[in-house]
Amino acid sequence: MKHSAASLRYTSQGYGPPNAPGWIGVSRGAALGVAWITVFNLVEIFAFNTSAIHNWLCNFRMLTQPLCISVLSMLATALFIYAVKPGLPGSVWLATTCLIAVVTLFTGWDLWEVNQNSPENLRQTAMSRSLGVLMLLAVAGLGILIGDSKAIHAGSSLVTVGISCILTIFGFVVVTLQSGSIGDLLPADAVPVILVPGCDMDPEVDPSEALHDRVTTASQLFKDGHAELLVLSGSSGDEDATGTAALKLMAVEAGVPEQAIVLDNSSVDTAQALQFANRLPELENDHRLIVVSHWFELARMRMLGRQAGIQIFAVPAEQKHALSDQQRLYAQEVLAFLRTCVHPAKKLLSQP
């Protein structure tokens, strides 16, 4: 059967009938996923002036901000090229291999530090993000390492590439949520504010058990002298103070002075609650904040704080009540984390 010249060119670019080994399609999909993760990280850096040294993949310790931006930009570009046209020319292949080696080196350094500094009972959880990033780099790197061979020029299934890309992105989110579930060490001195972000609640009924656990944990932190104010955000954004008033009563009963409690009756999500807290006079010169939430939300709290220019100390709420729908809440958190990753792009696109 004869093929047209256009069809042959299309197939030679790595598409068309899938003739390449399946793992090459998986490798290309992983590279595409890591490239998109890196791109959105760069967008966040430019939109919110966040650190490229402490980026989403690893900690580029000892490197400067401009150099880190350059490394991330070149990494994203090289991985996109490999995902689209896997048979890399010699110079591009060498540059791509070196970039992956650099990121692997710093990620391995992160892993070593976590292994040395984490308590044994938390070590496996703390290592999950670094191990996940190393695994994704290894999957992408395997296809790159074989170079300009005949196998890599054969067609790969677009379905395989696409599914691998999606799994890479969701896998990165899951390991980030998992490693981020560990609470931060609190500073020796008091921070200005402890924030309790709200969750779905009906003003006509008592606060949920989830909010009860958050307020109880935050109240204990306040009584231990870790903050000057306790901000409670539990409204649905309709300016009705009924919901937050119930939280305030709970905090007062736990021993927090009424004059030390600030109610946020207008925020509809955690990002707005952080902005509300950041506008308080107490944070004018000291942009540190303790956020108390459930373990699966802590990674997103830190990212939102990073985008808002606030140093977040995330503390997991002590769960005295079982969350009957925790699997659904965790799935919702995965999507919420993805929306937080994409939010900087929306901000840049909305600018005139």
Residue 112: inside a domain: yes
pLDDT at 155 over 80: no
pLDDT band with cut points at 50, 70 and 90 for residue 4: low
Residue 250: inside a domain: yes
- Whether residues 201 and 174 share a domain: the answer is no
* Domain stops at, among 179, 212, 244: 179
If one counts the domains in the chain, the total is: 2
- Whether residues 98 and 135 share a domain: the answer is yes
- Whether residues 296 and 158 share a domain: the answer is no
- Whether residues 295 and 223 share a domain: the answer is yes
pLDDT at 148 over 70: no
Q: What is the pLDDT of residue 238?
A: 47
CA gap 9, 49 in Å, rounded: 42
- Whether residues 126 and 261 share a domain: the answer is no
- Whether residues 40 and 117 share a domain: the answer is yes
Pair 300, 334: CB distance under 8 Å: no
- Whether residues 122 and 12 share a domain: the answer is yes
- Whether residues 127 and 206 share a domain: the answer is no
Q: Where are the beta strands (DSSP E) in the chain?
A: 191-196, 227-233, 261-264, 288-293, 311-316
Instruction: Classify the C-alpha dihedral 204-208-211-212 as positive or negative.
Output: positive
What b/e string do you get for 59-85 counting C-beta neighbours within 10 Å, with b at 16 or more? bbeebeeeebbebbebbbbbbbbbbeb
Q: What is the pLDDT of residue 205?
A: 45
SS3 173: helix
List pLDDT tens digits, range 178-208.
999 999 999 999 999 999 997 655 444 455 7
CA gap 9, 196 in Å, rounded: 58
CA gap 263, 253 in Å, rounded: 16
Residue 109: inside a domain: yes
CA gap 61, 40 in Å, rounded: 21
Task: Provide CB contacts within 8 A for 295, sequence distance 6+.
Answer: 181, 316, 317
pTM above 0.85, yes or no: yes
* Domain stops at, among 179, 209, 229: 179
First CA to last CA across the chain, in angstroms?
A: 54
Strand partners, 232: 196, 263
Q: What is the CATH number of the domain that holds 245?
A: 3.40.50.620
298-308 vs 326-350: helix crossing angle, rounded to 10? 20
- Whether residues 22 and 134 share a domain: the answer is yes
- Whether residues 129 and 200 share a domain: the answer is no
Residue 329: inside a domain: no
CA gap 296, 221 in Å, rounded: 20
List pLDDT tens digits, range 236-287.
444 445 567 888 999 999 999 999 999 998 888 899 999 999 999 999 899 9
Residue 186: inside a domain: no
Residue 343: inside a domain: no
**Residue span of the structural domain in which 97 resides:** 5-179
The percentage of the chain sitting over the pLDDT mark of 90, rounded to a whole number, equals 67
List pLDDT tens digits, range 69-92.
999 999 999 999 999 988 788 888
- Whether residues 171 and 295 share a domain: the answer is no
- Whether residues 88 and 151 share a domain: the answer is yes
Residue 336: inside a domain: no
pLDDT at 352 over 70: no
Residue 340: inside a domain: no
Token reading at 261: 């409690």
